[in-house]
Amino acid sequence: MNQVDRFKTLPDNARIQAIGNLFKYNNRKTWDIGVRFKQSTRKALKFSQLPYLSRQVVLNQTVDALPLGFPIEFTLPDRAFWQTATVGDSGLVTYKLSEEQSQKCFVFESAGKTIYLPQLELARGLFFTNNYLANAALINSALDLEFYVDQDPNDDDREFPLDLVINALPTTLCPKVLFDDEGFRHQIAWILLNSDIKNAFNSIYQYFSQERVRAPNVERWTFRFDPPQLKGVKVAARGWKSLDESTWFINRIELLDGLFFPDISDIGYSHPNSTEIKPSSGKGKGGTYPQLPSQREIDEESDGSEDNESALIFCDATQRIYNRVPRTRKVYAKARNSLGGKEDEDKPSTLPPEVSTDDSNSRGDKPRAVVDGLDDQTDNAHLYLNKFDSFFKMLKILEK
């Protein structure tokens, strides 16, 4: 695993030893999470940086890091057979900080092995592969306030008729650049259209609002949520094991294979900042998108600025495979003429090297970065065969 972007205040090759509670000081708008490193005295990062954060992950790598534990593959059992436990109950985590040992796990049997899976790590693998969803999880009904699913769209595209359209509302904090990624389009539809998955996501805020502990200067919360039904999903991960290999503690999920996607064929996606570019006469400049230097510095202290287009940065990806996925396409609410340019042609071509992973707000002074840590490996080539068939038939007609 090799991270390109760097955390500003961390040293080279900082290995995560432990992950603790969420907390927020009263004079801050955003939440942090306790993190302990082998090579640093820093004790926290932002919760919005969770796509990067699993136990034994190495940040600011300059050399190839040792693996994150032993590899294991297992199949998740029916949710009815899951129990709750703590990190300390596994007996496999040697970092003895009480906050680490008291973090919540799911525990279950799979193929004769007892698996301890930290609840936060499962939520990261399911939801927190980008910082937008990490931030949204701590806001009451965020997805209901930011998205509207039109079940009866007015669509006249005969070749690609839509079953429904997912509209990002003008109030959304979801950056348009995420809508440009098919993997995220699958992910947000998977959450919004599957009530069990959505309830699991919403349970994060429910526990967060009910259980966080307030002190004079700070609030704290131990992460937990209600898992969705994941029976039969295959997991590839790394972690620690007992000497007889009968008990395992999971450090990081690397693949989720067999996630259930609703049986929907064609989905449209609309974002208020997306504009369809209609060509016009004349010669224009080529389209540009906010370009990134080869390396970004993530400022762990700053909030996101409201003045900049979101920058896209990448972290080590968690792979996922659905049982099926729909065809997807963008739906535009507005159009404008272009002199040969493309969507986003008038956006700036460069951004400063320092970025923030938090949502934009009035205090922010760094460009907001969108962290992409999702690698959707679902095979969907067959969905677009008809489109290519039509193209080749047209070519044959032209040849005649």
The reported pLDDT for the residue numbered 334 is 60
Q: Give the ranges where the chain is alpha helix by DSSP (H).
A: 87-90, 98-101, 119-126, 131-136, 142-146, 176-179, 182-193, 195-211, 385-399
Non-local CB neighbours of 78 within 8 Å, separated by 6+ positions: 229, 231
Label residue 48 by pLDDT band (50, 70, 90): very high
Strand 266-270 versus strand 164-168 pairing type: parallel
Give ∠ CA 292-316-321 in degrees, rounded to 5. 115
Six-digit token string for 211: 């259980």
Give dist(CA 47, CA 271) in Å, integer. Answer: 25
Q: Report residue 75 as tokens.
A: 């199949």
What whole-number distance in Å separates Cα of residue 314 and Cα of residue 295?
10
Q: Give me the helix-helix angle, 195-211 and 182-193, nearest 10°.
A: 80
pLDDT for 398: 57
Distances in Å between the Cα of 363 and the Cα atoms of 173, 189, 307 are 16, 32, 11
Structure tokens at 33: 């999470």
pLDDT tens-place string over residues 224-258: 999 999 999 999 999 999 999 999 999 999 999 99
pTM, two decimals, is 0.88
Q: How many helices (DSSP H) and strands (DSSP E) are in the chain? A: 9, 23
Judge whether residue 342 has pLDDT over 80: no
For residue 350, what pLDDT is reported?
Answer: 56
Q: Which of 13, 19, 40 is nearest to 93 (CA)?
A: 19
Q: What is the pLDDT of residue 301?
A: 73
Mean pLDDT computed over 135-141: 96
Per DSSP, the three-state class of 278 is: strand
pLDDT of residue 148: 97
Is 339 within 8 Å of 397 (Cβ atoms)? Answer: no
Residue 247 per-residue DSSP state: E
Q: What is the pLDDT of residues 294-318, one digit of tens each?
A: 567 888 777 766 666 677 888 889 9
List the one residue out of 187, 189, 150, 142 whose CA is nearest residue 167. 150
Tokens of 83: 């129990």
Summarised one tens digit per residue, pLDDT across range 14-33 is 999 999 999 999 988 899 99
Do the beta carbons of residue 42 and residue 16 sit within 8 Å? no
Query: What's the pLDDT tens digit per position in 361-380?
Result: 656 678 788 899 999 999 88
